[in-house]
Structure 1
Amino acid sequence: MPDPTRTKSAALYRMVTPEHICPFGLKSLDLLERQGFEIEDHQLKSRAETDAFMAREGVDTTPQTFVGGNRVGGYDDLRRYFHEPVADPVATGYQPVIAVFATALAMALAANWAASGTLATLRAPEWFVAFSMCILAILKLRDLETFSNMFLGYDLLAQRYVRYAYIYPFGEVIAGVLMIAGGPLKWIAIPIAFVIGSIGAVSVFKAVYVDRRELKCACVGGDSKVPLGFISLTENLMMVAMALWMAIR
Structure 2
Amino acid sequence: MPKDTKTRTATLYRMVMPEHTCPFGLKSKDLLEREGYEVEDHYLETREETDAFMEKHGVETTPQTWIGGERIGGYDELREYFDKPVKDEDETSYQPVIAIFSVAALMALGLSWFTFETILTLRAFEWFIAISMCFLAVQKLQDVESFSTMFLNYDLLAKRWVRYGYLYPFGEALAGILMVAGALTFISAPVAIFIGAIGAVSVIKAVYVEKRELKCACVGGSSNVPLGFVSLTENVMMLGMGLWMGAKALWGL
* Count of paired positions: 248
Which stretch of structure 1 is more off in the superposition, 196-205 or 18-27?
18-27
What residue is the counterpart of 1:248 in the other structure? Answer: 247
The CA distance in 2 between the partners of 1:132 and 1:105, in whole Å, is 8
Deviation at 1:116, TM superposition (A): 1.1
What residue is the counterpart of 1:147 in the other structure? Answer: 147
The CA distance in 2 between the partners of 1:32 and 1:203, in whole Å, is 48
Structure 1 unaligned segments of length 5 or more: list them.
Answer: none
TM-score (norm 2): 0.96
Q: How does 1:172-211 map to 2 (within 5 A)?
A: 172-183=172-183, 185-211=184-210
Deviation at 1:20, TM superposition (A): 2.1
What residue is the counterpart of 2:47 in the other structure? Answer: 47
8 Å CA contact 2:2–2:82 kept in 1: the answer is no
Amino acid at match of 1:217: C
8 Å CA contact 1:4–1:82 kept in 2: the answer is no
- Name the CA shift for 1:2/1:145 in 2 (closer, same or farther; >3 Å): closer
Which stretch of structure 1 is more off in the superposition, 79-88 or 91-100?
79-88
The CA distance in 1 between the partners of 2:6 and 2:206, in whole Å, is 54
8 Å CA contact 2:152–2:158 kept in 1: the answer is yes
RMSD: 1.1
The CA distance in 2 between the partners of 1:186 and 1:200, in whole Å, is 20
Q: Secondary structure at the match of 2:173?
A: helix
8 Å CA contact 2:2–2:81 kept in 1: the answer is no
What residue is the counterpart of 1:229 in the other structure? Answer: 228
Sequence identity (%): 65
What residue is the counterpart of 1:91 in the other structure? Answer: 91
The CA distance in 1 between the partners of 2:74 and 2:60, in whole Å, is 10
The CA distance in 1 between the partners of 2:224 and 2:187, in whole Å, is 32
Amino acid at match of 1:235: E
Q: How does 1:17-96 map to 2 (within 5 A)?
A: 17-96=17-96
TM-score (norm 1): 0.97
Deviation at 1:2, TM superposition (A): 6.0
8 Å CA contact 1:186–1:246 kept in 2: the answer is yes
Q: Which runs of 4+ in 1 moved over 6 A?
A: none
Amino acid at match of 2:110: A
Deviation by residue 1:76-118 (Cα, 9 ceiling, x = unmatched): 1111111111111111010000000001001101111111111
Structure 2 unaligned segments of length 5 or more: list them.
Answer: 249-253
The CA distance in 1 between the partners of 2:46 and 2:58, in whole Å, is 18
Q: Secondary structure at the match of 1:218?
A: coil
Q: Secondary structure at the match of 2:150?
A: helix
Deviation at 1:64, TM superposition (A): 0.2
